[in-house]
């Protein structure tokens, strides 16, 4: 691939006299999204790019979440790249080590690992109008990029609850996404705060090991059976011999999951069978009427993320487990006091309290034209064009950003849709000889209006719950509120009419005039 903008052959000096490496494209993150972007660049011949990874390996959330029981809630055949099927999945729903190994193999197979800069935590990224470059500062050195792609992801930075006294706790405290594998919880009094997707995997995994397990629940979750099973050796051989069979199964899984959108975003009545399934699952596994009532949600199924588990309810109902719904009043050095006045001795505190999703930390670090950060621009809610570009931030593209999330199917499908859109934007810059490509405020206002219109009447806004899908203003800034194939159609190619392009060689200041 030939670029219309030449990059320097040798590093220049950046702020503080540190060497600055020039690249055409800098990608933040090496999870599913970052690797997909890198692979796409490699496949069309681009080699002048880096993947800036703050950790020491690829994998993103599947590298970081090593808590006991960590697994995917989407079937393996669907939760993988369409261009890199894996015939050797060991289970129908893969566990964390297998998914991480898949990402490591895929990165090596497609030659993107050599583009990774590990230990490169991005501390700042600033657009320079005169140079028409992004200046990116990391803990592994400085970079100057023609294009910046943020693939930092929404499940990258854990949230920690502001509970009175938590800083005084003298036992072990760890977030589920920052699990301390060196700490032995055997025989301990363990408390788990949260009952979301991570908690329902952690709780049954550790319950048999601990002396006592206290689960602090704010809101009960809808839980349906997990149809997980080992993949037989003969089936794996068949997938290797007949690749089309695995693609067909992937298609069937995708189609079946899209039917959930009918109930979540179109007609609530279609969710009733799923609700009945969840209720029957709870009644079958929890015999104690009092506990069953405490575990029964009072909101429409789908309003919060639907969870899948066969062993969460039995673990909570075990003799050494207790479900607390009174809320936490305070945390003391060796105990937790609930709002009903009961104090429970605690050795280890596990925070299964989620991530920064509607307030992405990376937004604090990226400064566009005029020095404003993404966070400042998004004070009234995250706005984008096609969930990928923001006015005032030239040559910046977002992956796994606002309104890309899904509560019913594989995130990988959405990632591949976004990567195709960003790649077409990069191709457009090359074809037209553009130094700058920037979306318009009108385009992102129209996209926000589209999201708001599609969100009306959906279970996420009208289901009777408060979830991390909504921001502090009550806007759906997280989920794509429609069928995913419609998102793919809207992002199949760049909507060129919604972008301003500045040719290479145009005088400085042209951007502002445009």
- Cα-Cα-Cα-Cα torsion 370, 371, 373, 377, nearest 10 degrees, comes to -20
* Rounded-to-integer distance, Cα 385 and Cα 370, Å: 20
* Rounded-to-integer distance, Cα 440 and Cα 389, Å: 9
Burial (Cβ within 10 Å: 0-12, 13-18, ≥19) of residue 476: buried
The DSSP code for 489 is: H
Cβ neighbours of residue 340 closer than 8 Å, sequence gap 6 or more: 326
Average pLDDT over residues 21-29: 98
Which residues does residue 12 pair with via DSSP β-bridges, in sequence order?
20
In our burial notation (b when 16+ CB lie closer than 10 A, e otherwise), range 341-358 reads eeeeebbbbbbbbbbbbb
Does position 422 have pLDDT exceeding 90, yes or no? yes
* Rounded-to-integer distance, Cα 306 and Cα 203, Å: 17
Range of weakest confidence among 18-27, 311-320, 414-423: 18-27
In our burial notation (b when 16+ CB lie closer than 10 A, e otherwise), range 490-499 reads bbeebbeebb
Query: C-alpha angle 420/424/428, rounded to 5°?
Result: 175
Q: What does the pLDDT read at residue 450?
A: 97
What phi and psi, each to the nearest 5 degrees, are found at residue 232?
-65, 150
Tens-place pLDDT, residues 354-366: 877 777 889 999 9
Average pLDDT over residues 83-112: 98
Q: What does the pLDDT read at residue 357?
A: 73
Confidence band, pLDDT 50/70/90 cuts, at residue 471? confident
Tens-place pLDDT, residues 150-198: 999 877 888 899 999 999 999 999 999 999 999 999 999 999 999 999 9
Higher per-residue pLDDT: 153 or 276: 276
Tens-place pLDDT, residues 485-511: 999 999 999 999 999 999 987 876 665
Q: What does the pLDDT read at residue 296?
A: 97
Among candidate residues 429, 434, 443, the one with its CA nearest the CA of residue 388: 443
Among candidate residues 438, 361, 381, the one with its CA nearest the CA of residue 132: 438
Question: How many Cβ atoms from other residues are within 10 Å of residue 310's Cβ?
Answer: 15
Question: How many Cβ atoms from other residues are within 10 Å of residue 370's Cβ?
Answer: 11
Task: List C-alpha distances in Å: 385 to 27, 32, 238, 397, 447.
Answer: 19, 22, 43, 10, 6
Q: What does the pLDDT read at residue 15?
A: 53
* Rounded-to-integer distance, Cα 161 and Cα 11, Å: 43
Q: What does the pLDDT read at residue 9?
A: 38
Q: What does the pLDDT read at residue 12?
A: 56
Percent of residues, the chain, with pLDDT higher than 70: 95
Average pLDDT over residues 247-267: 95
Mean pLDDT estimate for the chain? 93
Query: What is the Cβ-side half-sphere exposure of residue 473, based on CA atoms within 13 angstroms?
Result: 13
* Rounded-to-integer distance, Cα 394 and Cα 439, Å: 8
Range of weakest confidence among 106-120, 143-157, 215-229, 442-456: 143-157
Q: What does the pLDDT read at residue 511?
A: 56
**Is this structure's pTM higher than 0.75?**
yes
Token reading at 209: 């090991």
* Rounded-to-integer distance, Cα 397 and Cα 389, Å: 5
Among candidate residues 432, 438, 381, 430, the one with its CA nearest the CA of residue 127: 438
Confidence band, pLDDT 50/70/90 cuts, at residue 3? very low
Cβ neighbours of residue 294 closer than 8 Å, sequence gap 6 or more: 217, 220, 323, 325
Cβ neighbours of residue 348 closer than 8 Å, sequence gap 6 or more: 171, 172, 173, 174, 183, 185, 188, 189, 190, 191
Does position 19 have pLDDT exceeding 90, yes or no? no
Among candidate residues 195, 161, 166, 134, the one with its CA nearest the CA of residue 325: 195
Token reading at 284: 């079958």
Give the domains, in start order, of the chain with CATH numbers.
Answer: 12-157+356-513 (3.50.50.60), 166-227+264-351 (3.50.50.60)
Range of weakest confidence among 119-133, 379-393, 466-480: 466-480
Does position 470 have pLDDT exceeding 90, yes or no? no
Q: Which residue has the tokens 């990258």?
A: 156
């Amino acid at each position: 691939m030939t670029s219309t903008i030449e990059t320097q052959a040798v590093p220049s000096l950046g702020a503080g006299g540190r060497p600055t490496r020039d690249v055409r494209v800098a990608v933040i993150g090496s999870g599913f999204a970052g690797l997909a972007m890198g692979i796409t660049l490699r496949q069309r011949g681009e080699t002048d790019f880096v993947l800036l990874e703050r950790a020491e390996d690829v994998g993103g959330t599947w590298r970081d979440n090593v808590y006991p029981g960590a697994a995917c809630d989407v079937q393996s055949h669907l939760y993988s790249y369409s261009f890199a099927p894996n015939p050797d999945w060991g289970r129908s729903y893969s566990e964390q080590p297998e998914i991480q190994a898949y990402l490591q193999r895929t990165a090596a197979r497609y030659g993107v690992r050599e583009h990774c800069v590990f230990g490169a935590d991005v501390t700042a990224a600033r657009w320079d109008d005169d140079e028409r470059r992004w200046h990116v500062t990391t803990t592994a050195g400085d970079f100057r990029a023609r294009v910046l792609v943020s693939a930092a992801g929404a499940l990258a930075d854990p949230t920690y609850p502001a509970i009175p006294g938590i800083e005084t706790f003298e036992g072990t405290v760890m977030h589920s996404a920052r699990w301390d594998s060196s700490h032995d919880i055997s025989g301990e009094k363990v408390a788990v705060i949260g009952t979301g997707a991570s908690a329902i995997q952690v709780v049954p995994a550790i319950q048999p090991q601990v002396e006592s397990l206290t689960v602090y629940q704010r809101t009960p979750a809808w839980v349906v059976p997990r149809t997980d099973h080992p993949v037989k050796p003969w089936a794996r051989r068949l997938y290797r011999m007949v690749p089309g069979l695995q693609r067909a199964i992937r298609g069937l899984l995708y189609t079946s999951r899209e039917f959930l959108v009918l109930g979540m975003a179109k007609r609530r009545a279609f969710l009733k069978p799923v609700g009945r399934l969840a209720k029957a699952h709870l009644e079958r596994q929890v015999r104690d009427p009092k506990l069953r009532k405490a575990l029964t949600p009072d909101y429409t199924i789908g309003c919060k993320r639907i969870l899948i588990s066969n062993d969460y309810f039995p673990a909570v109902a075990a003799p050494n487990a207790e479900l607390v719904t009174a809320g936490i009043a305070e945390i003391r050095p060796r105990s937790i006091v609930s709002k009903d006045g009961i104090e429970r001795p605690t050795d280890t505190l596990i925070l299964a309290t989620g991530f920064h999703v509607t307030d992405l930390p990376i937004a604090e670090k990226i400064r566009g034209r005029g020095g404003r950060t993404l966070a400042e621009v998004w004070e009234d809610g995250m706005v984008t064009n096609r969930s990928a570009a923001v006015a005032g931030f030239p040559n910046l593209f977002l992956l796994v950003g606002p309104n890309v999330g899904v509560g019913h199917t594989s995130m990988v499908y959405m990632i591949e849709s976004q990567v195709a859109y960003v790649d077409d934007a990069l191709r457009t810059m090359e074809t037209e000889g553009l130094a700058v490509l920037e979306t318009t405020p009108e385009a992102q206002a129209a996209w926000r209006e589209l999201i708001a219109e599609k969100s009306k009447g959906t279970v996420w806004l009208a289901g009777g719950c408060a979830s991390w899908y909504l921001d502090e203003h009550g806007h759906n800034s997280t989920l794509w509120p429609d069928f995913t194939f419609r998102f793919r159609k809207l992002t199949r190619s760049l909507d060129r009419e919604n972008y301003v392009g500045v040719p290479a060689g145009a005088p400085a200041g042209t951007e502002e005039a445009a």
